Amino acid sequence: MARVGIYGASGYTGFELIKLLDRHPEVEIAFATARSAAGKSLSDIFPTLIDQPLVAAEQADLRGVDLIFTCLPHNTPELIPLVQAALDAGVKVIDFSDTFRLDDLDTYTRWRKQNHPAPELQRAAVYGLPELYRERIRKARLVANTGCYPLTAILPLHPLVKADLLAAGPVIIDSKSGVSGAGRSLSLKTHFGETHETFSAYSVGRTHRHLPEMEQETGLHIIFSPHLLPVYRGILSTLYINTKPGVRVADVREAYGVYASEPFVRLLPEGRLPELRHVVGSMNLAIGVQPVEDGCFILVACVDNLIKGASGQAVQSMNLMLGMEETTGLR
Ligand SMILES: NC(=O)c1ccc[n+]([C@@H]2O[C@H](COP(=O)([O-])OP(=O)(O)OC[C@H]3O[C@@H](n4cnc5c(N)ncnc54)[C@H](OP(=O)(O)O)[C@@H]3O)[C@@H](O)[C@H]2O)c1
C-alpha cells in the first residue's frame, strides 16, 4: 500500500479526495490536516466519511509517506514551506492551487501582480493534465493539478489546435460553475441568499485568474466569461470557435479521435450536447459539437469541478506518479 497525506482535508476538494482514496485499493491515508477544524475528526464535519483525525499542518508526519496532496486555498502562505519540506523528504506532491500552473514566470508576475514565491519549484512542476502530459506526470515530483474551468477549455480546444482547424482570432468561452467551485470558506459572494434563484457573471473578459492557464495550454487568444450558477457542483462551458473555411463537422469529430482511448473524456454522438447531470458525480468530461454555419461551431463541455475538475484528476495523476494503473479507484 502507498501512503498519502492530505493538507486541507476539511474543504470541498479534500472531502471528495478522501471519498476517492477511501475506496482506492492501493492507497492508505497517513494523515489529514485542517486549520480551523484541526482537533476534530473528518466524520465530525462530513458524517458519512471515515473517522480520520484532522491534525494541524505542523503536526503532519511525513515519515513513510509517498505523496501528499495540498488542497489549500491559493495564496496560503504555508504552501511553499510545506511543498519544499515534502520534496526535501523525498515525498511527491500534487498541489491543487494555481501556484505552480504557469510555466512562464513573467506571465505569473503580470497576472498575480507579484513575483513567483518559489521559481525553483515552478521550474520543477509538471502541469497535471494526464491527457496531455501523461509521461511527464509519471516522472514528476511536483504536479500542478489542472484548474476546473481550464479543464473545460483545454480538453475541447487542444485537439482542434493540433489538427490546425481553427481560424485566427479569439475564442470566446462562456462558463457556468456551481458554487462549490469557490470552496467551503464563508464568503458573501457564495452565501445562499446571494446565489439562490439568481444568476450572475463575474471576472468577465480577460480578467479571471484562470485565463493565462487556458492560453498557455492552447496557445490561443481567449475571451472568458465565468458565471455563478445556483447549483452545488458542475461546470458547463460553451465555446464559440471559428474554423478555417470548409471545415466540416466530420473534421472536428475526427480531431477528437485523439481521445478515443482516454478513459475519462467522452465525445457525445452528433446532435447531443452534455448537461451537468450527465457528469456530476463522475470522472467524465463530456464534449458536444454543434455546427452553426460555415467556419463556426459551438462546443459544449461539462465536468464535475470537484472530481475530474479537482480531486479525481489528482488521483489520476497520483496513480501515474506512484506507478499504478491510471484508472485505479476511479471507475
Ligand atoms: N472547489 C473546487 O471546485 C476546486 C476545483 C479545482 C481546484 N480547486 C483548488 O483547490 C484548492 C482547495 O479548494 P477547496 O474548494 O477545497 O477549498 P476549501 O473548501 O476552502 O478548503 C480549504 C482547506 O484548506 C484548509 N486551510 C485553509 N487555510 C489554511 C491555512 N492557512 N493553513 C492550513 N490549512 C488551511 C481549510 O481548513 P479549515 O476548513 O479547517 O479552516 C480546508 O481544509 C484551492 O486552491 C482551489 O483553488 C478547487
Q: What is the pLDDT of residue 186?
A: 84
> Could you tell me the mean pLDDT of each successive run of 10 residues in the chain, 331 residues long?
97 95 96 95 88 94 98 94 98 98 98 96 98 98 98 98 97 97 88 91 96 98 97 97 96 98 98 97 98 97 98 98 98 89
CATH 3.40.50.720 domain range(s) in the chain: 2-146+309-321
Instruction: Out of 71, 148, 296, 302, pick the active-site residue.
Output: 148
For residue 8 and ligand 1, the question of a CB distance below 6 A is answered with yes
Pocket test for ligand 1, best of 184, 208, 316 (most atoms within 8 A of CB): 184
Model pTM score: 0.97
User: For ligand 1, what atom is nearest to the CA of residue 54?
Assistant: 40
Residue 307's pLDDT is: 98
Q: Is the CB of 83 under 6 A from ligand 1?
A: no
Residue 48: per-residue pLDDT: 86
Indicate if ligand 1 lies below 6 Å from the C-beta of 209. no
Topology of the domain covering 148-305: Dihydrodipicolinate Reductase; domain 2 (3.30.360)
3-state helix, strand, coil in the chain (%, to 5): 35, 25, 40
DSSP 3-state of 195:
helix
Active site residue 148: yes
pLDDT at 190: 87
- Distance in angstroms between the alpha carbons of the first and the last residue of the chain: 19
Residue range(s) occupied by CATH 3.30.360.10 in the chain: 148-305
Of all atoms in ligand 1, which is nearest to the CA of residue 145? Answer: 7
Please tell me the distance from the alpha carbon of residue 326 to that of residue 263, in angstroms, as a whole number. Answer: 9
CATH superfamily of 2-146+309-321: NAD(P)-binding Rossmann-like Domain (3.40.50.720)
